[in-house]
Structure 1
Amino acid sequence: MNPELDLTLERIIRAPRAVVWSAWTDPSRLEKWWVPAPTVCRVDRLDVRPGGGFVTRLSDDGVKFVPHINASFLVVDELERIVFTNAIDSTWRPTNPAPVPMTAEITLTDHLDGTDYRVLVRHGDPTARARHEELGFLEGWGSVTKQLAAAAESQAAR
């Protein structure tokens, strides 16, 4: 972790890793938490494997959907780690995404209370990192992580 280039978030999710993993890898589950409510998410492509595509759209009214993320998975370690980047789109073409290019690493490890969920978002330069932070990285990623936790904990309680 390089504090000049990276942003991080950590949370204990009171659910087993397999449940949290499923929330990341099942399109119908990802749609429930991937964007901050009340915005609605639609998953167009979720091919969770190295080189696979990750494409979502969002809508404020549930009718008109606009592009959200078009990314590629770089690393997928079953039940442990997902790494994706929006600097390469789902068809492996280099891109210059808004608001900033980034590579996100999601790690899941066992914790006495469930799953230790960690997010590390890497940026290419301090300006991109600062812009992402100013645009509300902690609020945005924090909000969706809270939604992820609620969804996973609800599923685990069943």
Structure 2
Amino acid sequence: MNPDLDLTLQRIIRAPRAAVWHAWTDPAKLAQWWLPAPARCQVDRLDPRPGGAFVTRMGDADGAFVPHLDACFLVVDELERIVFTNALTSTWRPATPAPVAMTATITLTDHPDGTDYRVLVQHGDPESRAHHEKLGFADGWGLVTAQLAAVAEDLAAR
């Protein structure tokens, strides 16, 4: 982790890794938590494998959806790690321009209370990191992580 280039988030989710993994890799579940409420998410493509597409749209109360994320998965280690980037689109073309070019690593490990969930978002330069932080990284990713926790904990309770 490079504090000049990277942003991080860590949370204990009170659900087993399998439930968190399912919430991340099932399009219907991802749509429930991927964007900060009250925004709505439409998952256009979710192919969690190396080289697979990760494409979502964002909707508001009037029902209109606009592009949100066009990215690709780089690494997918079942139940352990997901790495994706928006520097390449879902078709593996360089993103031009990438909104805030980043590579995100999601790591899941066992914890006595459930899952230790960690996010590392890497940027190419300090300006991109600062811009992402200014856009509300802590609040936005914090809120969606809380929403993820709610979905995963609900799955675990069933």
TM-score w.r.t. length of structure 1: 0.98
Instruction: Report the alpha carbon displacement of residue 44 of structure 1 after superposing the two structures with TM.
Output: 0.2
Which residue pairs with 1:24 in the alignment? 24
Which residue pairs with 2:71 in the alignment? 71
Q: Deviations over 1:29-66 (max 9, x none)?
A: 00000000011100000000000000000101252100
Q: After the TM superposition, which parts of structure 1 deviate over 2 Å for at least 4 consecutive aligned residues?
A: none
Instruction: Report the alpha carbon displacement of residue 154 of structure 1 after superposing the two structures with TM.
Output: 1.4
Mapping of residues 73-152 of structure 1, within 5 Å: 73-95=73-95, 96-98=97-99, 100-152=100-152
Instruction: Report the alpha carbon displacement of residue 157 of structure 1 after superposing the two structures with TM.
Output: 1.4
2:17 and 2:86 map into 1 onto residues whose CA distance is 25
Amino acid at match of 2:87: A
Amino acid at match of 2:15: A
> RMSD between aligned alpha carbons?
0.7
2:87 and 2:106 map into 1 onto residues whose CA distance is 17
Tell me if structure 2 keeps the 8 A contact 1:40–1:62. no
Tell me if structure 2 keeps the 8 A contact 1:81–1:108. yes
Instruction: Report the alpha carbon displacement of residue 23 of structure 1 after superposing the two structures with TM.
Output: 0.3
2:155 and 2:62 map into 1 onto residues whose CA distance is 24
Structure 1 residue ranges without an equivalent (≥5): none
Amino acid at match of 2:154: S
Tell me if structure 2 keeps the 8 A contact 1:58–1:66. yes
Q: Deviations over 1:68-90 (max 9, x none)?
A: 00000000001000000000000
Q: Identity rate of aligned residues, in percent? A: 72
Amino acid at match of 2:67: P
Tell me if structure 2 keeps the 8 A contact 1:13–1:115. yes
Q: Does 1:156 align with 2:137?
A: no
Tell me if structure 2 keeps the 8 A contact 1:108–1:118. yes
